[in-house]
Each structure stands twice: as C-alpha cells, then as structure tokens.
A and B are shown apart, each in its own frame.
Chain A
Amino acid sequence: MTGLNRREFIHRSVKAGLVSASALGVGWWLHDTDPPALEPSTEALGGIPDFSKTSDGGPAMAIARGTDRVAMVRRTLGALGGINRFVRPGDRVVIKVNAAFASPPAISATSHPDLVETVVMACIEAGAADVVVTDNPINDPASCFRLTGIGSAAEAAGGRVVLPTADRFAEVTLAGARLIRDWPVLVGPLAKADCLIGVAPLKDHHRSGASMTIKNWYGLLGGRRNVFHQDIHTIIAELAALVRPTLVMLDAVTAMMHNGPTGGSISDLADTNTLVAGIDPVAVDAAGAEILGRRLDQLPHLQQAADAGLGILDYRTLNPLDVP
C-alpha cells in the first residue's frame, strides 16, 4: 500500500471523527457534577395489606379448654362462626407460624404441627385456593420447618411451605413508626394473599415478658432485626400496627413458663390446656398473659398497642366464648 487515496482518507477521517465525537458526546451525556448520595435511597412500601375483617359483627374471641388441639381448633373455629367466616372459596391464605427454632415439637418453642395441620386443613375445606405456611426463623429455615414438624404437617394437609428467600423481602416504612422504617419485611407471600392467620405458641420471653401472637409477627421481619431488642416493646407495638391479621390463634395447651423463648427442656413447660382464637391480637394476647401469669404492667407493648387503638386490652369486654 502506498499513498492514500481520497476514498480511504475520507473513510478513516469519518471513523476518527466518530470515535472522537462519541468520546466527547458520551462523556458530556454522562457528565455528572453532583456527587452520589452516601447510600442509595430505596423505595419503601407504605405497609402490608390489611387482612382484618372486623366489620361483620361476629364473635371476636373464643377460648377452648382441653388437650386435643385438633378438636380445640374445630371448636373455637365453630364458635367464631366457622372457618368460612374468614376464608372464602378461592381465597389465598397465608398462615404465619412460629418456626423460629430448629427444635422438636416436644420442646414447645414453635407452633405445634397438629395445630398447623388442622388450620391448613380447615382452610382447604373452606375452599382456599392456596394455603401458604411461612416464617422467617432464627435458625436455618429449612431445618426449622423440617425439625419442628411444621413443614410435613402443612404439606400433609394440602398447604405449602414458603421459605424466606431474599427475593421475598421488600423494604417497608410504617407511617409514624420509629423502628419499622425502610426495613425488609417478608411481603412476598403476603402481597397477593386474601387472609392472614397467625398461629403462635404461648411462651415466656426474657426480653419482652411474653411471646404471643403479636410478638409472632417479628418473624416477618428481615435484616438484622435483633437490633430491635434494644427497644423490644416499641417494635412489638409497631408490629401490631403493621400486621392486621384475619385471625390469630394462641396455643396454650402446653405453655413455656420460663427459660423462653427457646426453652429446651420439658421442665420449662406446663400443661395449661387452653387454646385462644380471635380476631383481635391484643385481646388474645391479654388472655394469654393471664395464662402465663404475667401482669399487664409487665408487658408494656400490649398497653402501647391498646393505646394506639389496635385492640382491646380488657379481653373480657369482648365476651369471649368459652368452648370447654
């Protein structure tokens, strides 16, 4: 090749010009004189759906006595107007169990599998299209659902277990809240659900006094949620505002009286032979506190939730139905 003809020169000039102009153009287009934010802000949800159905005027609370959880669930549900009052045919139901620890049901640190199985079955019988059992446990989730017996119970009754994978969390900011701000919450299973049923065991809790149906919502939080132990009553009261369930059940057939919330020995347990079900978690927990032998002034979070108008503390005014 010798010399350079005009055609080649024009070709090369155009290419050189394009490279040069695109360097300047792209640079100018992407030029940003503002420094970035310290931490990129995320869009938080304003809350989770409200699952409560309190306007129907039916009974608010039922208390069953006995030792057979299956029969007790049936009796309380019947007293409250039947499962159909809460679950309509075609509904998608989420059951939030307490599967916090990878420990066997005999320890009573987690929701009892019989209870879970019966509730799932009742929902299926009511015509639920989908029954999801979920929790964000403290120990390894898969191990928790397996060793507590909750997983196999739920699946035996026709439900399915949803594990708390990272993609199922979204950041939530609860209006007026001090702690639940831009905080990851297990909203994945809840986003398209029609009903939310809380199923919790009655347990002593060293930090908060008691772990009952409202404290059970702690298991919907993600992230390093244990920072909230610095302000445990506030977070429980905020959870009462964040989560408005269709129905809650407090299992006090065998209550963990001390050494909670993990327990570890059957000597921590007592046969209190009670199951409380209701649509007002504050009232249900107030009844539970009585069974556990706690005064309400030992459980400030219940008072705070009641003061915020989230429920009735004096549960007897709700005329709980006794179904012995």
Chain B
Amino acid sequence: MRLVIVRRICQAFFLLLLIWSCLVTTVGDRWFELRGWPVSWLLELDPLVGLATVLTTGSLYKGLLWGAATLAATALTGRFFCGWLCPLGTLQQMVGRWADRRRSRRARAAGRQSHPGQRIKYLLLIGLLTMAAVELARPLVALLAGGGWIPIGAAILAGLVMGRWGNRSWTVSAGWTMAVAGGIALVLGVMLPGHRLLAAGLQTGLLDPIPLVYRSVSLVVLPLLAPGAGTIVVGGGLLTGGVLLLVLALSAWRPRFYCRYVCPLGALLGIAARWSLWRMGRRDTDGEACTGCGRCNHHCEGACDPADRIRWAECVLCYNCRDDCPERILGYATPPSTTGEIAGPDVDRRKVIAAAASGAILLPLARLGDPLGVGWRPDLVRPPGALTESEFLNRCIKCGQCMRVCPTHVIQPAMLEAGVEGLWTPRLDFRLGTSGCQHNCIACGHVCPTAAIRPLALDERMGLGPFTDTGPVRIGTAFVDRGRCLPWSMGIPCIVCQENCPVSPKAITTRTVLEPVAGLDRLMVTRVRSRSIDLHLPPTRRPLAGGDYFLVGPAGPKNALRIAGRQADRIELAGDPALAALRQEAPAAVHVRLQQPFVDPHRCIGCGVCQHECPLRGRAAIRVTSENETRSRAHALLAGAGLPPTKE
C-alpha cells in the first residue's frame, strides 16, 4: 500500500477519535457515556500543553506525560504529529486539497512554496512560552535584589568587558548576554522591585491546535450537528466557530495556512526535530536524477521546498513529494538531502528577543488592573474545584472539556467576562445552563486534563465524611436583590429559590409577613353575611381566592381572615367576619401572606440553582457572585468561616 494511503487512514482515525472523544464527553448512563474513556488523550499527547504547564507550575500533571513521549519521538523522527495525527491539520489538508482542485498546476505549486512568513509561528511560540515562563525568574531576581546592585553591576561590567574585548565568538556573545541579563535583573530586582514586571500565565491554549480543535468540536460543531443536541446552549459561538472557519478558509487560500504560519505546536515540534535521525530529502547522488519537473511541490503540505534545500523544520512528513516524484528520488532516510537542507527554523536572535520581550510584557500590561487581586471579578463564578484564579490561569488550556461534559451546560466559555486572559475559560452562566451547578456532580474536574479544575471526590464536594470539618466546596454566594424579588418588592408570593435550594438544611430560609396589598388596602364593608362580606372592590387581577390573601378588619392583622372565594364584590371568608370585627361600614384591607427569602451565607455553596430557577429570567432576583468561594481566602465573606474548628 502506498504510504500516503496509510497516512490518510491514520489521519482519518485520529480525526474520528477526536470527534468520538468530544461526543462521548457527556454524563449519563447510555452505553457510550461510560466513564473512563480517555477522552483527553489527544490533548495529553500535545507536548505544548505539557511544556507550557511545566513552565507555569513546575510539574507535569498525570496524562500530560504523553506529551513528553510525543516530543521524544519527534526528536528522532520529525513532525509526524502534524502530518499524521493532528485533526486540525487533517481538516486543513482536506480543505486545501479540495480548493486546489480548481487551480492550475502553476497556482498549486505557487501556493505550496515556502514563504518567509512561516517563521511567525516560531515567534508566536517563543512569545507564548516566555509569557508562561517569566515567573521562573522570580527567585533569581529576589536573590539579586537581596544582594543589592553590586553583584549585578559587577556582572554587567564583566559582561561589557568580555563583549567588547573578548577574542572568541563565544566569549563575546556570553559577555553581551551577561550584560543584557544583568541589566534586566538590575531593572527588575533593584530599580523596580515588587515583581510587577514578572507575571506569568498560560495562553498557549489560544493558538494550540489541539485545544482549538477540541473546543471547536465541543462548543460549536456538536451543539450544531450532534443528534439530539438541539437543546444545548453555548455562548460565544461566533468567536469560537469563527476561529475554526477562519482557519479552514485560510487553508483554502494557502494549504495548511495555520500549520505553516501560526501553529505554535508545529513550531515546537519543528524545533524538536532539528537533529532527528531520519529526515525527508532527495536521495539522488549528486542531484543528477532530478528532471526539475517540480511535481514534488504540487502537494507539499508543509511548504518545505523538498526539491530545493529542504526546510526540515517545516516538513510535516506528508510523504506527498515522494509519492508525486516520477523519478522516485525523494525519501525518508538518515542522510540529509543530497541538495542540502535547512535543518532549523528560519529565525534570528533579534527576532527571538523581540518575540520573547513581547511575550514577557503583555501579561504585566493585562494585569495592571490587578484582576487577580483587588480587581477581581465577582461575576466570574468558576466550576467547583477550580484552583485559585492565578493557579487556574496557570493551567487552563481553554479546551472546553469541562463545558462539554457539564450535564447542565451551566459551564460556558468566557468571552471577556474573565478578562482578556480568560477568553474561552470556563465560567458558570446560570441563565444559559439548564440548571445550576448540580449538587452531586463532579464531572468537570475529572475530565480537566491539566487539573485547572481539581478532580474532587464527591465527599469533598459535598463536605461529607472526612470533609465534614471543611464543609462543602463553595463556588460563590447567592444574594437576594430585594428590589427585584417578587415577595420583597411586589407583594407577590414566590420563594421558588427556597424550594429549589439543594443544600440540606436549606441555605435559603424565609420569614413570613402579612402585607397590605396596594390599591386594596382602603376598602369599606357594605354588607356582612355569615361567612362572607360585600365591599366595593376595585378591579384587580390578583388571585384573591388563591389562599394567600387575607382580609384584615378593625381587629387588626392578627385576626385576619383568609379569603376563600370571590364573586364580583362579594368575598367569602374562611371564618366568621365578626372575628376580624368586620361590620357594615367598617374599614377593611386585603393583605397578602408573603414568605420573604433570606440567604444563610454559612450554608450557601453558590450552586446557582436558585438563580436559574428564579422566575425573573431576565436578571434574576437572586444571583450568585463568587464572594466566599472556597478557592480564594481573599474572597472570604465571613469572619472565621471555613476554617477548622479550634482545638481547645
């Protein structure tokens, strides 16, 4: 079988695996919803996820070790991941091939020539990784700041001397490096202490193709196309899907546009493949066998110029060149191409420094408003188990797995609600979900590939068993908006929130009051019968006979009589009118019995079921904000709450 056929089968397998992984990431008891599918395996295979989280957290979580295997294999064999596995690459390849059908051979070949813009992806990678890594410099800067400016000054001087008068190339470059690094350390550690310029965060998820394709499938494709998914509501579809459409559209213009120009994962693999044992290239001795037909360029996926000096970092091992070559002089072997090769990426030091500097400065700019400190967003409610915001942002790769698995789809992708940094990160939207965050559900943390949402045990989530002392995991607190709440502001009985509060004992309690009904509070009795009275009743749509309404006479609210029925101006009462001192010409008022809700912040876990169920569907009269969430002590609402009991 031709190798390109094998490749296509492999690509199809991984594309289907991706769709399958997203499709089955649901909670339920149907056969395909079995727990334990390795639904995040493709994400774990992605070494950029592993590398970036290692830089931000110093550890490689669980399955992300697969990424190390990918990287190790790439270092030996080249970018097989791009050409054979990556589902986004496969989709682009399909679109590119389809678009090429109507093109002339000349146009086809032109679109598959290498282009200087292909270096952009390396610069993006360097920027994103620098963004993830800058806080690693903190201990060093602290050390330098502790020692004052003298050691740094000495390093700068020594560096300048070595750079200026060194006589070997390595002493010169080491000297300049010392001088520049010392200068940066001087600025950060001595002149501008406070570490404000050293803010790290994980933003590879913006461009990393595997999270991109996961979230595109989970948040756009499946809600649109999957059988029975018509009820799934997902916000941000235009942006999420628009990115995918743009990637595919651009690949119609230039095959694998994203892979060639943007993809930071491809860049990482291209760098890793620098010294690979096997590589593509021409195998004709002295370059004589080539007739110069150029067919090898016609379907080149990586735009790596296989007939010329092959750009090995760009080659995605698609094997099309070998397949197309009538002379069969292209192949995959240990020697480099007989016409020479460009083994590494096409970037110079100046561009690398510029990219790293840009990556280092963007987060400090985004964090000038201190979004992780005093500028935190109370409307941002994260899923239960989500780490403290800074730790969370150090791990979340925006893959959308938690949003896909959430049985109520209350977990939604943030657009700007979590700040620019938080784009596509999970936030709870109690309007869009089919309910609040379910009390006995721990699904999101168990599919999160990076533990940005910590996998909780059910006991831990509920505060049972060994977790009785720490109590349940709180994601926020519900606050009653008394200006909107029906019983509080409009004299209408309701308490749907109290009824639906899943916490036991309930976090929402009520106080019962009897309140006069505006417009019905200055009535005059015209006639008294045994169990009813007549009075001039203004027109009202209130269900007076519904059981919540009372008639109060001169004997006061304590002797109010329940209204049992109504016919025009005649009101039937659930007792003798005399009990309420209702005589002819006596004043009377209609009162309504209301239960007004209160939230007990010691019990509320912020699940938002109350907000979701509130009949005010526009802006609910009870709303959850992240005050008192377990994950942040800085957001504590209660003195001494949530702390272990004292040992006395």
Contact = CB atoms under 8 A, between A and B. Distances in A.
A224 B634 contact: yes
Contacts of A323: none
A230 interface: yes
Contacts of B14: none
A1 B336 contact: yes
A275 interface: no
Given A15-B275, A23-B75, A39-B632, 10 more contacts: A13-B275, A16-B76, A30-B59, A35-B61, A36-B59, A38-B473, A39-B387, A176-B646, A181-B643, A224-B636
Interface stretch (A2-10, A90-98, A193-201): A2-10
B646 A178 contact: yes
B313 to A, nearest CB: 13
A28 B640 contact: no
B454 A178 contact: no
Contacts of B334: 4, 9
Contacts of B22: none
Contact of A1 (B340, B639, B643): B340
A296 B531 CA distance: 58
Contacts of B362: none
A16 B65 contact: no
Contacts of B274: 15, 19
Contact of A30 (B47, B54, B275): B54
B59 A32 contact: yes
Interface string A46-70: 0000000000000000000000000
Contacts of B640: 178-179, 181, 231, 234
A218 to B, nearest CB: 13
A242 to B, nearest CB: 14
A140 to B, nearest CB: 14
A173 to B, nearest CB: 9
Nearest to A30: B60
22 contacts: A1-B336, A1-B340, A2-B286, A2-B338, A4-B335, A16-B277, A19-B274, A20-B73, A20-B75, A23-B71, A24-B68, A27-B67, A27-B68, A31-B60, A36-B57, A36-B391, A39-B388, A39-B632, A178-B643, A179-B639, A181-B640, A234-B640
Contacts of B272: 19, 23
Task: Name the residue among B68, B73, B335 with the largest chain A CB count within 10 angstroms.
Answer: B68
B498 interface: no
A293 interface: no
A228 B340 CA distance: 73
Contacts of B387: 36, 38-39
Nearest to B637: A227
A21 interface: yes
B60 A2 contact: no
A270 interface: no
B72 interface: yes
B62 interface: yes
A28 B646 contact: no
Interface in B367-398: 385, 387-388, 391
Nearest to B473: A38
A191 interface: no
Contacts of B60: 27, 30-32
Interface residues of A, number: 42
B65 A176 contact: no
Contacts of B445: 35
Interface string B431-475: 000000000000001000001001100000000000000000100
A12 interface: yes
Contacts of B65: 27-28, 31
Contacts of A28: 65, 68
Contact of B451 (A20, A30, A36, A227): A36
Given A2-B285, A23-B272, A228 B639 contact: yes
B638 interface: yes
Contacts of A181: 640, 643
B58 interface: yes
A297 B612 CA distance: 46
A3 B338 CA distance: 6
Contacts of A230: 638-639
A177 B646 contact: yes
Given A20-B75, A23-B75, A230-B638, A38 B69 contact: no
Contacts of A228: 639
A12 B275 contact: yes
B631 interface: yes
A33 interface: yes
Nearest to A174: B646
Task: Name the residue among A13, A17, A23, A223 with the largest chain B CB count within 10 angstroms.
Answer: A23
B511 interface: no
Contact of A38 (B68, B631, B648): B631
Interface string A238-268: 0000000000000000000000000000000
A1 B445 CA distance: 54
A235 B639 CA distance: 9
Contacts of A23: 47, 68, 71-72, 75, 272
Given A4-B336, A32-B60, A13 B277 contact: yes
Nearest to A229: B639
B58 A30 contact: yes
Contacts of A229: 639
A324 interface: no
Nearest to A223: B634
Interface string B253-291: 000000000000000000010111100000001110000
